[in-house]
Structure 1
């Protein structure tokens, strides 16, 4: 599923416990000071280890930033996985699963403290990786949704079709809504968001027997 298809399995690999305290320390420093103003010395101090030990684990600040980004992505995927799994366990139909998938995507993106902090204080750092250089983010979301569609197709809950174009549209829509909160869609109303997802998102998945109120 594209050059970034290997990223989804990477995100789902088990965490390295020895790095968790360091990544947590780096995340909190980024939240307090921003990425530019956070030094490796500050991360080492907060993580309770020497600067030399920190550099043995992460050879540069860039490597540490990438590791924090991967950890944030892993948290996002785990949150979406958990929401979808609840629907699977109750044998929910395709429409209910799609609604919860979309809601979880939005919640994960809009509820990310680091992303929100960077968008407000250091947009020049993060925006290129969500827009002009955003292919990896789009591909990760697209591959996740395509995997989701393929599973529902295998269960006979969706008809057969190429899932990739639709999956990319859903990923792009969720990212756009997260980055641009000014919208007529009531994103802060949980009930309204689910209604929007049911009326305007789920229908694009071609759920058998689905009827949309006019």
Structure 2
């Protein structure tokens, strides 16, 4: 976890413009060629820097892949947060906000081009970063969800409890849905998805029965 521990705080906050350009260049190369066929030379060329400079920032291709994945996770979470804020008033009850959070998570997972491409063409490369090496991805999702729960608790909309276990459970469930989208959960029916979220997801957050 040494290299990953160094990458995680960098991706949690906005990276320097130079680093962002490298990650964007790597992402586009992965989309164009796939991970196997993308070389560090190609990423350096697209990012407008020397190969030596690229290796000073990312000591290996594996570190670069991990950084792109974490950046994608961060952007995914930011997109979910923006979607929730757009769809519902912060004065709404906990259940309504949790339902929209669940819907935004599903929409974000279904719209991720890189994840779809790699799971379809190079699953043997991407799967370790989402399973045995997936702790940083889960941690980013868990931390966001824990902050979401903590805010609702501070507003008196959820009872007091440790938010981390439920946040991790939901983060792991979201990742599972991304990896194995074949499910009885009605992902393609907005009305049914919202009913599912009210009946089965909101209860995990201990939403009061009187919440509207």
Give the TM-score band, short-chain normalised.
0.7 to 0.9
Correspondence for 1:163: 163
60 and 128 in structure 1: CA distance in 2 versus 1, 3 angstrom threshold: closer
TM-score (norm 2): 0.83
204 and 191 in structure 1: CA distance in 2 versus 1, 3 angstrom threshold: same
Deviates more, 1:124-133 or 1:112-121: 124-133
Q: Following the alignment from structure 1 to structure 2, what is the Cα–Cα distance between the partners of residues 150 and 184?
A: 30
Are the counterparts in 1 of residues 22 and 47 from structure 2 also a CA contact under 8 Å?
A: yes
CA RMSD of aligned residues (A): 3.6
Are the counterparts in 1 of residues 158 and 207 from structure 2 also a CA contact under 8 Å?
A: yes
4 and 83 in structure 1: CA distance in 2 versus 1, 3 angstrom threshold: farther
TM-score (norm 1): 0.82
Report Cα offsets for 1:38-79 as digits up to 9, x if no partner. 012222333344434434544432332233123212211211
206 and 4 in structure 1: CA distance in 2 versus 1, 3 angstrom threshold: farther
Report Cα offsets for 1:121-168 as digits up to 9, x if no partner. 111122123223333333332232222112111110011222222222
Q: Following the alignment from structure 1 to structure 2, what is the Cα–Cα distance between the partners of residues 163 and 152?
A: 11
> Unpaired runs of 5+ in structure 1?
none
Q: Following the alignment from structure 1 to structure 2, what is the Cα–Cα distance between the partners of residues 76 and 70?
A: 10
> Unpaired runs of 5+ in structure 2?
none
Q: What number of residue pairs does the alignment pair up?
A: 212
79 and 57 in structure 1: CA distance in 2 versus 1, 3 angstrom threshold: same
Deviates more, 1:167-176 or 1:31-40: 167-176
Are the counterparts in 1 of residues 4 and 63 from structure 2 also a CA contact under 8 Å?
A: no
